[in-house]
Amino acid sequence: MDEAAFIAALRALAPDPAARGLDDDVAVIALGGEHLILTHDMMVEGVHWLPGQDPADVAWKLVATNLSDLAAKGAQPLGVLLGYGLGGGEERFLVGLGEALLAFAVPLLGGDTVRRAGAAAHGLTALGRATCLPVPTRGGARPGDALWVTGMLGDAMLGFEALRDARSDRDTTRFARPVPRLAEGQALAPLVGAMMDVSDGLLLDATRMALASGVTLAIDSAACPVPADLPATRRRDALAWGDDYELLFTLPAGQAPPCPATCIGHAQPAGAAPLLLDGAGPQGRLGYQHQQ
């Protein structure tokens, strides 16, 4: 059974509205006058990180990627639970975990430690509270909205390639130690139509937003913010690369965002393709898909 079939079967087991159809990165639970936001991500050696990569960076990224899901909901983090597979690298993992908890001011609340059998696999659950209602979804983009993205796209790709090739001439921080856009997410949440984090590649994640919203998103590739050292021939690659953990969101036309961001396109009524890149449906790879 492949991943798509498995997730489809899981979806049938998750009819509760709080599960949001397993389609929105998080669960949202009303509890005692608050709305709790929950997310859980796993990372596997050789799949989500390079063998030999510093376990401190693995720990950081495990925390950061989960908090990025909270950021996209405008949530205030309340804590994390760690599921850790023992088997080497613990000292460095603890260093990176401590640094991430401190950097993002999020408490470690619990979890589990198990012996591993084979490659390392760790999981993390993050919970937060909604800071505004309704909690943003991928599905709120409306025709006429402007499409925005925070930060830059492609830094993680260039950093990954430098790390993979053991080159020291390129900063790898944005790949190894992504920073969830928590403050930006909280500032944006009351204003946005749709919002999500760019974890699997701009073109793929924008396609998901378009499909969830029932619109077509038109992106101007020249407007997309990329690092200064990105070769012109790599721009298309950068737009299909994951791991940037920037926020992608829509605002009504003419409205300025409350944080630094770049307008990269707009929403229009649903056409033949959910995504247009420079006026045409994009060919080729849109992003990181787990089955590839």
Interaction between residue 97 and a copy of itself (CB under 8 A): yes
Checking 258-262 for CB contacts under 8 A at 24+ apart, the result is 258/187, 258/188, 258/191, 259/150, 259/183, 259/184, 259/187, 259/188, 260/150, 260/151, 261/148, 261/149, 261/150, 261/184, 262/148, 262/149, 262/150, 262/223, 262/224, 262/225
Q: Are the C-beta atoms of 181 and 136 separated by less than 8 Å?
A: no
Q: Supply the minimum distance, in Å, between the C-beta of residue 99 and a copy of itself.
A: 10
Question: Which one of 121-129, 139-147, 180-188, 264-272 is the stretch in contact with a copy of itself (CB under 8 A)?
Answer: 121-129
Q: Considering the complex, what minimum distance in angstroms separates the CB of residue 119 from a copy of itself? A: 4
Which of 58, 67, 121, 218 lies at the binding interface for a copy of itself (CB under 8 A)? 121
Which residues in 151-170 contact a copy of itself (CB under 8 A)?
Answer: none
CB of 189 to a copy of itself, least distance (A): 18
Which region among 105-113, 149-157, 179-187, 267-275 touches a copy of itself (by CB under 8 A)?
105-113
**Under the criterion CB under 8 A, does residue 103 sit at the interface with a copy of itself?**
no
148 or 245: CB nearest a copy of itself: 245
Q: Is residue 115 within the footprint of a copy of itself (CB under 8 A)?
A: yes
The token pair that represents 188 in the structure block? 């944006």
Residue 218 binds a copy of itself, judged by CB under 8 A: no
Nearest CB to a copy of itself, comparing residues 96 and 201: 96
How far CA 136 is from CA of 50, 173, 174, 237, in Å, comes to: 33, 29, 25, 28
Residue with smaller CB distance to a copy of itself, 137 or 216: 137
> Which residue, 225, 219, 233, 214, is CA-closest to 280?
219
Binding of a copy of itself at residue 32 (CB under 8 A)? yes
d(CA 27, CA 23): 9
For residue 65, give the nearest of 207, 202, 175 by alpha carbon. Answer: 175
| 44 binding a copy of itself? (CB under 8 A) | yes
Two structure tokens written together for 273: 């393709």
Q: What one-character-per-residue DSSP string does 247-271 give?
A: EEEEE-TTPPPSSS-EEEEEEEE--
The contacts of residue 4 (CB under 8 Å, 6+ apart) are 291
How many residues bind to a copy of itself according to rule CB under 8 A? 68
Q: Is 63 in the site for a copy of itself (CB under 8 A)?
A: no
- Residues near a copy of itself (CB under 8 A) are 1-3, 5-7, 9-10, 13-16, 18-20, 22, 26-27, 29, 31-34, 36, 38-48, 78-79, 81-86, 90-91, 94, 97-98, 101, 107-119, 121, 123, 125, 127, 129, 290
